[in-house]
């Protein structure tokens, strides 16, 4: 029977049961078994079917008494409480994304329509492209070939500022969209979580 | 026959805490002493496992009080007795048991058991 009690002690040690409590349980168990044997009985009279599974018996007893060491959860980790963001931050990012998208779209439209004189003219009027007034202004009906001065065509004259404008808008749009995507990205969230934790 | 044993085991497991509280009502007792009192009333725990985890739970729930007392020639023993909460729990448990037993009797009494010679 000593072997049964020793097996229980090993299990209690493994479960982190404090030594004084483990000793107390071992003494009670030994005394009861010895009394049963002294009366002509056996350890089975005391332990029942638990006699055949000392580790399970020891764990059940310690667990019922609530004296096992608390287990530390390792996996999965406890979820971190997400940082409470001010309400205006997501709204600002969404507005920023919309702005960037609009800029990019405008730039794409300008690039697509750069050879269109109508578009070029509208852009020129809108942005006061130098020289456009002279080109569209009514001119005296003079023979065109006689007074023709080689120079940039209407489209060519408009293309320079339009292309520059499109490039600038595209750049602004891409940068703004990039910043917005970076804000919502998982990397950004992880970084934020680390700060919270 | 194994099925009958299993049913008896499950029934006893459901009320063993009540039985322990009842035998403690006779007076403070240590673990093995309670086993002997149960046996004297016709309840053997041999097939039901040990009473120690159950005693541990009753102690944790505040239904029993414990104290150490010297025994005859041996080491001090841990004596269990009913706490006021334990007494109330015992009374409520006995009422529950009687109600359940009457209902089950009502359901089973319609069955005529023929005893084979």
**Residue-range domain boundaries for chain B:** 2-108
Provide the ipTM: 0.84
Nearest residue in B to A42, CA atom? B46
pLDDT at B81 over 90: yes
B46 contacts A44? CB cut-off 8 A:
yes
Range of lowest pLDDT (A67-76, A163-172, B75-84): A67-76
Give the residue among A47, A62, A24 at the shortest CA–CA distance from B76: A24
Chain A residues close to B73, C-beta within 8 Å: none
Which pLDDT band holds residue A130 (cuts at 50, 70, 90)? low
User: Domain residue spans in chain A?
Assistant: 2-65, 88-142+151-196
pLDDT digits (tens, 9 = 90+) for A156-184: 555 677 778 888 888 888 888 888 777 76
Nearest residue in B to A21, CA atom? B56
Q: In chain A, pLDDT over 70 holds for what percent of residues? A: 60
Averaged pLDDT, A81-93: 66
Contact B22/A at CB under 8 A: no
Which are the contacts of A124, defined by CB distance < 8 A and separation ≥ 6? A132, A158, A161, A162
Please give the mean pLDDT across all residues of chain A. Answer: 74
Chain A residues close to B59, C-beta within 8 Å: 65
Joined together, the tokens standing for residue A78 give 């406890």
Domain B2-108, CATH among 1.10.10.10, 3.30.200.20, 2.60.260.20, 3.20.190.10: 1.10.10.10
pLDDT at A98 over 60: yes
Range of lowest pLDDT (A14-18, A110-114, A145-149): A145-149
């Amino acid at each position: 029977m000593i072997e049964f009690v020793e097996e229980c002690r090993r299990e209690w040690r493994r479960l982190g049961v404090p030594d004084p409590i483990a000793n107390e349980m071992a003494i009670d168990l030994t005394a009861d078994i010895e009394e049963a044997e002294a009366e002509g009985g056996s350890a089975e009279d005391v332990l029942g079917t638990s006699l055949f599974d000392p580790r399970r018996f020891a764990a059940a007893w310690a667990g019922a008494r609530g004296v096992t060491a608390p287990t530390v959860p390792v996996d999965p980790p406890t979820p971190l409480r997400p940082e409470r963001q001010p309400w205006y931050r997501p709204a600002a990012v969404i507005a920023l994304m919309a702005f960037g998208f609009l800029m990019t779209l405008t730039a794409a439209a300008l690039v697509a329509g750069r050879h269109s004189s109508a578009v070029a003219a509208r852009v020129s009027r809108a942005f006061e492209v130098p020289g456009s007034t002279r080109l569209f202004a009514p001119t005296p009906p003079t023979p065109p070939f006689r007074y023709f001065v080689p120079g940039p065509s209407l489209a060519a004259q408009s293309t320079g500022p339009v292309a520059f404008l499109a490039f600038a808008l595209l750049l602004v749009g891409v940068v703004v969209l990039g910043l917005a995507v970076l804000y919502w990205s998982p990397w950004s969230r992880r970084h934020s979580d680390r700060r919270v934790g | 026959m194994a099925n009958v044993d299993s049913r008896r085991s499950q029934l006893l497991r459901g009320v063993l805490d009540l039985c322990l509280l009842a035998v403690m009502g006779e007076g403070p007792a240590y673990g093995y002493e309670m086993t002997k009192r149960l046996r004297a009333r016709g309840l053997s725990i041999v097939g039901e496992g040990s009473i120690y985890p159950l005693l541990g739970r009753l102690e944790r729930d505040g239904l029993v009080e414990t104290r150490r007392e010297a025994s005859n020639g041996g080491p001090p023993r841990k004596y269990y007795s009913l706490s006021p909460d334990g007494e109330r729990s015992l009374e409520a448990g006995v009422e529950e048991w009687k109600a359940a037993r009457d209902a089950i009797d009502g359901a089973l009494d319609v069955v005529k058991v023929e005893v084979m010679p």
